[in-house]
Structure 1
């Protein structure tokens, strides 16, 4: 390890008389901020030029810019480390790895000296995208030199382990809540299949209609904005594929376009109650547009399905999310570089139509699940806020 990098000492507030972190204690704490290169070996990931073409069914985990990407027949490292995503939209995201594993391209591997740093403590501290300086414009990246010079809070090893244990417990609790969220989300689809059966096999012989027959005829099923232009801070929010991946759409995080651009795509201006479906790249993702998004628009990678008022968005969404319909959508994908589904194939998708009273009964059961989902999401948000507070205090020497 080198010893010629910047080291800073900071007065970070009080400790209580028992030696634990706390605000307002009578003893002062001086915590060291030290450059990663002073206690870590930092190497470029992907030195062996391995990629997805080398993945096997059984092997050792390989970590790229997005996390664990697959398995390789051999391993590169056999120790705990932090893998830093160093190129792309998520550069700054960090992954804790241990055991036998390998690195892939677009990463930096940070291997702390176990006699000086607890790797879990280091991961908790570094896994914050906002703390890393980014270079580049179209494709942001983190310079290796910036990684080596990066300063971190480094108390005693015992203190690091104590803090890591606290943060691990908070992280485990959040993980369990997220798992329950996934199970609840699947519950709605299970209720759907229990009540109506497979919507493609249609065992109950319900009448079926093409999706195009269920939408507002003056709007039809079409895709959105082709060229969004520069992001406008006070402009019109635009739904993109990545936004459909979230359980709840955060309007504050949406890209925005100018009112003039949005007005050119009047049929896809959102009113609330439509279904948005991804038709390029990762096809088949869908969500119900909430009233909070009214006035917004969608990108060209999304098809907007403006259902008639008599049609249940909750029911149609579950039809589209069903395994059999998702398989049909995947089978309709065309192209390689710009893979996607044609709007006409989507318009002709057959949708079962049970009696209105059965759909209403399903909506009532789905509403109960939706309320539970909101409660769990609220709990996760509070846990996230608590974890953020714990991390802030921990890395300021006040936990």
Structure 2
């Protein structure tokens, strides 16, 4: 049996603040100061910024003890963390100090994680959706006995550990691909002393921009946008828009297996990211992306891997022209990027290894998808008293 109380009943809630940016003495060595970007849905051990004692004293920032739960209220509503040490937070993060006589910390964490979609649906505002502390304090929570809470938390912890391990495998596979690039081709900064140099444009056969047509929730063609190209060189097709194309537009604005897509406009850190099309699914291409076609897919894999290498990222950053929160590398500039002219046999050998890694990644993603389904099922059963 469980009773229903509110989050305000089971924890002490508060939020932080931000010192004046115009006073540099408020920022520096001191207490880690969390922004939403620092939250990781797990134990938070560090922050990108820290506040000095003066920074904390002259702002609404508050130091919270280890074990405090952290909940994002702006933008990424419901993103979570648990403080590993003493930390301070911005006003965009609510913190909860659980009442240990009423609620188990891990039970509360898992309940908040399960409630994220509903909390996000509660968001209000214009450019940035948000919720308030009052929303959180009034939020209902089923409260079984402490031993039952711990039992539920342990089951969910174990299921979540499975998901974490799968994600670690995916990260390892990406690292393996990067290491294979370096082992096969050597450090790019040394290429000019060992190999003939050319340009990406000399390897490419066609370079074309995507469509400027407006995409929406309906249409014949799923369309790739900048967010569908990941930083590590994959396609994320979980959030697609759609568009209709005329017969004449289809060959101009669609991709095929072996094409490379290049993100010409984004933030300075992300502009120039690239991915190879490794699917036969019908896909169109939006205007912020460039389609680069080669004689063979091995060249596409080589160029894409170079662009996400540390050397390639540095070149992208140097080329990027910045304007009002965005950076741009146009197709002409991309084609001028210098690259070694390795023999086709070397590029094909690299592609063969990448294909093996890619298939392992697909298998791991399928298992992770099953793990996610299991976790969601356990969450649902746990908090309706059926676990």
Give the superposition deviation at 1:166: 2.4
Moved more, 248-257 or 364-373: 248-257
Aligned partners of 2:272 and 2:316 also within 8 Å: yes
Structure 2 partner of 1:332: 319
Q: Residues 171-186 of structure 1: matches in 2 within 5 Å?
A: 171-186=160-175
Take 2:321 and 2:23, find their aligned partners in 1: how far apart are those partners? 22
Give the superposition deviation at 1:266: 6.6
Structure 2 partner of 1:32: 3
Q: If the length of structure 2 is used for normalisation, what is the TM-score?
A: 0.82
**2:95 is equivalent to residue 104 of structure 1:** no
**2:223 is equivalent to residue 238 of structure 1:** yes
Give secondary structure in 1 for the equivalent of 2:170.
Answer: helix
Q: If the length of structure 1 is used for normalisation, what is the TM-score?
A: 0.80
The two structures, once aligned, show a CA RMSD in angstroms of: 3.0
Moved more, 136-145 or 159-168: 136-145
**2:14 is equivalent to residue 43 of structure 1:** yes
Take 1:287 and 1:369, find their aligned partners in 2: how far apart are those partners? 15
Equivalent of 1:298 in 278, 286, 295: 286
Give secondary structure in 1 for the equivalent of 2:290.
Answer: strand
Take 1:290 and 1:203, find their aligned partners in 2: how far apart are those partners? 30
Take 1:292 and 1:115, find their aligned partners in 2: how far apart are those partners? 56
Take 1:46 and 1:113, find their aligned partners in 2: how far apart are those partners? 24
* CA offset digits 1:134-179 (Å, max 9, x no partner): 2235432224332222112221122222222222233233223322
Take 1:35 and 1:140, find their aligned partners in 2: how far apart are those partners? 23
Q: Residues 117-156 of structure 1: matches in 2 within 5 Å?
A: 117-128=103-114, 129-132=116-119, 133-136=122-125, 138-156=127-145
Structure 1 partner of 2:214: 228
Take 2:342 and 2:170, find their aligned partners in 1: how far apart are those partners? 28
* CA offset digits 1:59-109 (Å, max 9, x no partner): 443332233452314561114232222222x22222222431111132222
Take 2:311 and 2:51, find their aligned partners in 1: how far apart are those partners? 34
Structure 2 partner of 1:95: 81
Structure 2 partner of 1:195: 184
Structure 1 partner of 2:65: 78
Structure 2 partner of 1:377: 365
* CA offset digits 1:306-350 (Å, max 9, x no partner): 233475322222122222121111122222533424313211012
Q: Residues 335-354 of structure 1: matches in 2 within 5 Å?
A: 335=322, 337-343=324-330, 344-354=332-342
Structure 2 partner of 1:270: 255
The aligned length equals 362
Structure 2 partner of 1:208: 197
Aligned partners of 1:288 and 1:317 also within 8 Å: yes
Q: Residues 383-394 of structure 1: matches in 2 within 5 Å?
A: 383-394=371-382
Q: Which runs of 5+ in 2 are unaligned?
A: 40-46, 53-61
Take 2:20 and 2:118, find their aligned partners in 1: how far apart are those partners? 29
Take 1:198 and 1:216, find their aligned partners in 2: how far apart are those partners? 26
Q: 1:70 to 1:275 in 2, by over 3 A?
A: same
Aligned partners of 1:167 and 1:390 also within 8 Å: yes
Q: 1:141 to 1:263 in 2, by over 3 A?
A: farther
Take 1:227 and 1:153, find their aligned partners in 2: how far apart are those partners? 48
Q: Which runs of 5+ in 1 are unaligned?
A: 1-29
Give the superposition deviation at 1:252: 4.5
Aligned partners of 2:224 and 2:283 also within 8 Å: no
Q: 1:236 to 1:140 in 2, by over 3 A?
A: farther
Give secondary structure in 2 for the equivalent of 1:72.
Answer: strand
Give the superposition deviation at 1:380: 2.0
Take 2:227 and 2:297, find their aligned partners in 1: how far apart are those partners? 30
Q: 1:329 to 1:55 in 2, by over 3 A?
A: farther
Q: 1:268 to 1:258 in 2, by over 3 A?
A: closer
Q: 1:377 to 1:113 in 2, by over 3 A?
A: same
Equivalent of 1:312 in 288, 299, 307: 299
Structure 2 partner of 1:289: 277
Take 2:364 and 2:35, find their aligned partners in 1: how far apart are those partners? 31
Give secondary structure in 2 for the equivalent of 1:123.
Answer: helix
